[in-house]
Amino acid sequence: MSQLSMIEVNKVFLAGRLTQDPELRYTPSGVPVTTLRMAVNSSFMGKDGEKREEVCYVNVSVWQKAAERCVEYLGKGRPVFVEGRLQSRQWEAEGGQKRTVLEVTANRVQFMDWAQDREGAQQPRAKGAAAPPESAPGPEESDDIPF
């Protein structure tokens, strides 16, 4: 009898809209980070045959240059596509209660409502912003990945 090995995968893809403006913060060592608060809608058929809508609210942490770009060019209501991984975080709240939260750490954030201009360059639909869609590594990733 052969033994099967299980492959573990921690990969998340989300497309939704921001529920508030992102705010830039810095870790004690000076690394920029922001949290995107997203609403992701889904629809399904209920047992009665009626179409139902459901909203899932998700916190996404974005690090380094990508965090700075998100704060600069994204705002409440803007659609985004996020690729990342699930991460659990624990802390002790007031009164000594232990708290745990499950959130997404982004590897890639794509600004979704960008229009194509005549030359094919991507331009934002919102006024004043002029950055390309963002893609950047997370806190522990770097450009010299060995594969």
Region 79-90: what's the mean pLDDT? 95
Residue 36 tokens read as 């995107």
pTM, whole model, 2 decimals?
A: 0.70
In a domain, 56, yes or no: yes
Asked whether residue 104 is assigned to any structural domain, the reply reads: yes
User: d(Cα 3, Cα 145) in Å, to the nearest integer?
Assistant: 31
27 has pLDDT over 60: yes
User: DSSP code of 48?
Assistant: T
Rounded to a whole number of angstroms, the CA Rg of the chain reads: 19
134 found inside a domain: no
How far apart CA 38 and CA 53 sit, in angstroms, is 16
pLDDT digits (tens, 9 = 90+) for 116-137: 444 444 445 443 343 444 444 4
In a domain, residue 109? The reply is yes
Residue 92, SS3 per DSSP: strand
Look up the domain containing 94 and give its range. 12-124
3-state helix, strand, coil in the chain (%, to 5): 10, 50, 45
pLDDT of residue 113: 74
Element (H, E) at 64: helix 64-73
Residue 140 reports pLDDT greater than 60: no
- Establish if 73 belongs to a structural domain: yes
Tell me the CATH number at 65. Answer: 2.40.50.140
The DSSP-derived string for 104-140 is EEEEEEEE--EEE-TTS-EEESSTT---PPP----TT
The number of domains in the chain is: 1
33-52 pLDDT, tens digit per residue, is 999 999 999 998 888 989 99
Q: What is the pLDDT of residue 118?
A: 42
Q: What is the pLDDT of residue 145?
A: 38
Residue 97 included in any domain: yes
pLDDT, averaged across the chain: 81
